[in-house]
Structure 1
């Protein structure tokens, strides 16, 4: 099961039926007759009487923690026929265990007489161990953490400053930043942005296009920075997921056709226009934003407009964070892998009002597996209720980033009303990205040459001089015509740059699609058709004409600071020069950057004659857009590109280059002369984990091969993790709750990532190889907790070694290859322990 439900009603649904299931498990602990039998006997209570069913050791499977062997299984206990006594060889550890009822040792499926939902149960052998905490779990849907705005410290012009200030004020003081031009707040922001722009302009005053720091033209900056292999960022368009609601199924007329082809336009609301209409580019330009579909849609289905989640007779359920599967109510055979599915909250979980639905509680996932039929080819059903269901799985990279409420109960103030559904699933999803296609724009023809070199001068004359008289035939000198400069401009701007979403695969996870791509993965959306009077040829855009040969039909779009686009062609040395009189037709898209960052539910029209479509709206807000790089940013970044060290010479070089791998947070290096040469021993410290895999060690070694010096070997060492013993004596105030303070301290001194995104003080990323661990920061962190009067350490040493106590020096030292470790796992104390000695409080 993937739901966490507070009201367990499945047992009541099974009770009295022909199926059986697990009611609960009782661990015989303190009530055992002899101490040796404690935690060795399990009493498995069934929902219904077994009625001839006999379970043996082959039908019981225990998973989790240390392996536990089942000795024997006995049916019935003291006249209770629905109790199964399970004898184990030894008790389990502190880890959670799962007891499964299986058909046999070779068949993990539950017996046919058992309900598949109640065929397994999770329990703990240490349930009777004393604990100061309340075991009742919180059933309310957790709130999302508050988001903060990112401040762009590289802003260098008026619009960037203004946008950054408005974005910050929208979060810091929502009532202040209204965004209306005539509002006092907007006037103040404009004045501050203007002042900041003037200061930036004085620092980067333009003098001449020949120097990087004085050039005013963005095209000049792009060409100058090409000398140091710097590629100017032209930006990227935004994208979102759009939902198409239909009144009836829309299927293609032929197998090779689609109902919504790639490139179909969707736009924001237009007055007095229906939801769907025939495409009209002039009409689309009147809308706030135009998006176009990024892939074909083979069919639209009315059943996919709104799909309910199936909760298996339970109530007050939610999909937890990280879930990658769910169950939908109903038979949905047209729901296939490769489709995008949206999960949307449609009503407030606490109030039951549709207006209280949180827009941020929307998720889009890529389906990887669906199951609507059973093994016999019949619709999949719940074996208890007989309701038709459909099982779905989605991509692991689309795991839910926040819980999704499926059903809930209102607060006391709202009358404790049961609400279902809170969230629904929606199909008929299509990925759309910002930008409007303009087709067949006529560009000026290539002009005829009107200038010429003096006789005997020019490129051809120089080549002729290099040959002998027999080759040249003593030809008379003729004037060589100068080819004209041909750089046509596009009529509309800004030109769209977008990634190739499906270059590697036909499907891509929704989270990867919405992520902002790097500049190297974006391409200009433009194509040219040339007609020189004899043939029609196509020209393709490239990033750099210098990488093309003399016959390549390529061109490069160059973007000025105001967004105007000019096209640069080759010169018959690097790229082919178009012949004089050649006419060009351009097809391109316009729309770039943050202009496409529209809010959710803003798209309203589909520019396609499809009357079955009754509603169009974007489930997610426009995201992933990036504005073109400004002149100030180019001047800042380009001069430092060639200074990037691409050769490992010093230990610092090995540390810096090693951290380019995403899984490494730090690298420590040592030079050792091994007899004939020097070997660098690199010791990586992985992120978010303890230990390093062999594949990671091999990856780092191959990574260093590109940068190491000749006759200089590199070896990757494995860090040695040193477990510690830390005990703090904490004095509490009289009115402080001992259990509450203890819980706060254990959360603060945990080895996990906290719910607010911060790391626990004992998280593996808090320790470095060879780092000296000081005691004072730990004491200070404990004393800052509310309710703590004083704290002191009574044990601070390596695990099981009293000789290494660091209480006197207030610190522990480690060698270069050692990393401290405190997992504080009661099942594995050898990985480090952290204990609290509480005094006082209530």
Structure 2
């Protein structure tokens, strides 16, 4: 036999013919009744019954291994006539043997009734012997030798490739290497050189994009920096609060419905257009900026267009800075908690002219409590005048940043004219953010796969390396399909990245600039595969997605074009061929949405009752996309940011990342089988640490602590002090003025210039040594003070702790000094002055 066939069908052909042949041979080894007869008997099975044909030892010939002698040949075994029992003198060795059926010792040809193809069989006497090796053998296919060709690998452009090919042809095919432009061979060389030039360009581009300092594509930079766990900033859209003025109440037609749905567009002024009109994306694109509502509006009320403050019959009133409550003049039963209210100055406080109003005196607050009825479920009224009133409270995060003037009086030159109202409150407010929604953008259809690997060269070939030699030789090689690349792009740019808005969020938080990790692409897509329409969700990257997730990642190129990348059935689900995608997304991002106040003018919704649209606050919070230079500068330094708490200094540094923590002191304590770090926080601007803050700081440390290293947050112990200074006042200085200056300097609050008072809680640290000399130096620097001397310097009520001799007070690790200097609560620390002299 000169070749090997995987499908052995010759036996079937012989079985249905008049010829006979060898089917297989068995070596009687372990089944021998007598151990001495092991491997001495062979059972040769024929394909067909030989009938009257009898074979003897003259018809057998053994090849290979040590010589073996045949004792006798018997036809038939246990009623099977197609079996020849061959008895040998001795067993063969470990080598392979070949048993042939021959005509006679002198004629090696097969008998005429035996098929030549099945006239021999290969076997081994030791097939049942134990072996330490695997029965399968390696299949080492010989690698064909290829002739070596001299190639100039420095050729990288069209001309060098063309020259190299012509030089090669001049050696291999001199009759074709003419170089004449009209020859077919030259035309083919030019085409191949052009193709090689394009491939070389792509190779150079790939080499360029593989390094952070050379990459020109923003997508390449994003993927490279992702390896460093660096999130590229894709920007953020701007936000502001919009006010709607209505001519009549607009109420929902049915429960659980809204009058202005989420995503309704408002835009800047368009010439010759009414305040409200049916939405038209082409018309909206002509405006300077398009904003959309972030929350639905359930109702609009005429009474909320402008609401005056109630002054309780007083004049020249104002709401102080930091106020969180007020009284409105009138009964407003439709004013509810967790809605936004705007405070706006509408005229100058000194002249009464609208043109003199301060545009910055505007603030949005989130109502948390509205009281319109008394205990008898009747409208609240002033018990003196009987006028109806409404009490409102707003979130402490939205405490007034400036005094709100309510009523005033003009100067003498203006005639002492009483002015009211200076500022008013406005309802019908909603948060809007920059970006225009585009519907039904066709992204195209997933193409069918038309490329395939050559047989045996695909990715599945790696799974067949452990197969047996015969299996690999006999398995029919299939051409593996290469999935088609589907990376659609959006028609319009730039794609909006926005934070996720929460209902009932304080206004100050809604206008803050979010972190890059807190902004998400404003896009949703749907895929129609002909059977059903399924949504696909955007994710920052596909690494955390499994093969069944219908997700996609958005990648922004340097020209602001957005590319969509789908999964590969390992990280995200690959769309089926023929699936058609449509996208709904928003465009508009960055500081382009930073518009001034009162710039919004139109509502893209047919509502004639809306007579006015304007933004009370300016657009803010927008952030442009991160530049290439910024990415290259920041990403490599991410490794230098400490993200593990190992030493005490690490716990202090990581603890200061929490907003309310001023400083942290740590101690290592062995608490049994492990070490526990006890973190003692020092809060900013206040005294005391609440249980919620302790839990929050403990959870903050959880992602930084070492394994088998516990963290616990302790509560600081505040130690009240008792300090008295004897101050000598200059003879020409007013004693009361000096005392006033000293009390302002030694205050637990902020001074008028914004500086911290010496007794402010942020001036003291846990375990810090309090020295007396800085206190005396500060007192002596006050105008009108000649000298200062401490007469009492100790812990409150404990004469044994006096620090006058050592001129310092010592505190434990968990102790923080406290001097509130509050006459109503002297137990929280006192700081007294004994003034002598002056006038």
Q: TM-score by structure 1 length?
A: 0.69
Q: Distance in 2 between matches of 1:212 and 1:557?
A: 20
Structure 1 distance, partners of 2:278, 2:263, is 14
Q: Which residue in the other structure is 1:621 paired with?
A: 618
CA contact (8 A) 1:605 1:616 kept: yes
Deviation (angstroms), 1:799: 4.1
Seen in structure 2, the aligned counterparts of structure 1 residues 482 and 713 have a Cα distance that, compared at 3 Å, is closer
Change (3 A) 1:210 1:838: farther
In the alignment, which residue of structure 2 is the partner of 1:559?
Answer: 556
Question: 1:348-427 maps to which residues of 2 (within 5 A)?
Answer: 348-427=348-427
Matches within 5 A, 1:265-304: 265-304=265-304
Name the SS for the 2:816 alignment partner: strand
The match for 1:583 among 556, 559, 580 is 580
| Structure-2 change in CA distance of 1:755 and 1:570 (3 Å) | farther
Distance in 1 between the 2:319 and 2:804 partners? 47
Change (3 A) 1:814 1:291: same
Counterpart Cα distance in 1 of 2:471 and 2:387: 91
**2:331 corresponds to:** 331
Count of aligned pairs: 634
* Structure 1 partner of 2:750: 753
Equivalent of residue 504 in structure 2, options 484, 507, 520: 507
Q: Which residue is 1:213 aligned to?
A: 213
Matched, 1:771 2:781: no
The CA distance in 1 between the partners of 2:321 and 2:333, in whole Å, is 27
Report deviation, 1:410.
2.4
Corresponding position of 1:523? 520
Partner SS, residue 641 of structure 1: helix
For residues 223-254 of structure 1, the C-alpha deviation after alignment (integer angstroms, 9 at most, x for no partner) is: 11212322222222111111111122223333
- Judged with a 3 Å threshold, the aligned counterparts in structure 2 of structure 1 residues 248 and 536 are, in CA distance, closer, same or farther, namely same
Residue 624 of structure 1 aligns to a residue whose secondary structure is coil
Residues 1:831 and 1:387: Cα distance change in structure 2 (over 3 Å)? closer
1:597 pairs with one of 594, 597, 603:
594
Per the TM alignment, residue 265 of structure 1 is displaced from its structure 2 partner at its CA by 0.8
What is the CA-CA distance between 1:841 and the residue it aligns to? 4.8
Helix, strand or coil: the match of 1:431? Answer: strand
In the alignment, is the contact (CA less than 8 A) between 1:207 and 1:214 conserved in 2?
Answer: no
Q: 346-355 vs 660-669, which deviates more?
A: 660-669
Q: Which residue of 1 aligns with 2:680?
A: 683
SS of the residue aligned with 2:209?
A: coil
Among 815, 820, 835, the alignment partner of 1:818 is 815
Q: 1:367 offset after TM fit, Å?
A: 2.6
Q: Which residue of 2 aligns with 1:58?
A: none
Mapped partners of 1:264, 1:638: distance in 2: 38
Who is 2:485 aligned against? 485
Whole-Å separation in 2 of the counterparts to 1:509 and 1:473: 72
* 1:723 and 2:716 matched: no
The answer to whether the 8 Å contact 1:499/1:522 transfers is yes
Deviating more after overlay: 341-350 vs 771-780: 771-780
Equivalent residue, structure 2, for 1:310: 310
Tell me the alpha carbon deviations over residues 617-643 of structure 1, each in whole angstroms, 9 at most, x when there is no partner: 001111222222333333343334345
1:465 to partner: Cα distance: 5.6
Q: 1:345 deviation in Å?
A: 1.1
SS of residue matched to 1:456: coil
> In 2, Cα distance between the equivalents of 1:339 and 1:346?
22
1:240 aligns to 2:251 (yes or no): no
Partner of 2:118: none
- Whether the 8 Å contact between 1:437 and 1:589 is mirrored in structure 2 is yes
Which stretch shows the higher mean deviation, 690-699 or 627-636?
Answer: 690-699
1:541 to partner: Cα distance = 0.8
Deviation per CA, 1:398-436: give whole Å up to 9, x if none: 332332221122233433221111111111112111111
Residues 496/736 of structure 1: CA separation in 2 closer, same or farther (3 Å cut): farther
Distance change in 2, residues 1:780/1:530 (3 Å): same
| Alpha-carbon shift at residue 222 of structure 1 (Å) | 1.3
What secondary structure is seen at the aligned counterpart in 1 of 2:740? helix
Deviation digits for residues 105-158 of structure 1 (CA, Å, limit 9, x no counterpart): xxxxxxxxxxxxxxxxxxxxxxxxxxxxxxxxxxxxxxxxxxxxxxxxxxxxxx
Residue 438 of structure 1 corresponds to 438
SS in 2 for 1:545: coil
SS at match of 1:685: strand
Does 276-285 or 721-730 show the bigger shift?
Answer: 721-730
1:428 aligns with 2:428: yes
Normalising by structure 2, report the TM-score.
0.70
In structure 1, distance between residues paired with 2:749 and 2:668: 34
Q: Distance in 2 between matches of 1:694 and 1:303?
A: 43
2:661 aligned residue: 664
Query: SS where residue 393 of structure 1 aligns?
Result: strand
Q: What are the ranges of 5 or more consecutive residues in structure 2 without an aligned counterpart? A: 1-205
**Greater Cα offset, 729-738 or 590-599:** 729-738
Structure 2 CA distance, aligned partners of 1:799 and 1:432? Answer: 55
Query: CA offset at residue 491 of structure 1?
Result: 2.3
Asked if the contact 1:442–1:586 (Cα under 8 Å) also holds between the matched residues in 2, the reply is yes
SS of residue paired to 1:566 = strand
User: Aligned equivalents of 1:494 and 1:288: distance in 2?
Assistant: 15
Deviates more, 1:683-692 or 1:777-786: 777-786
Report SS of the residue matched to 2:251: coil
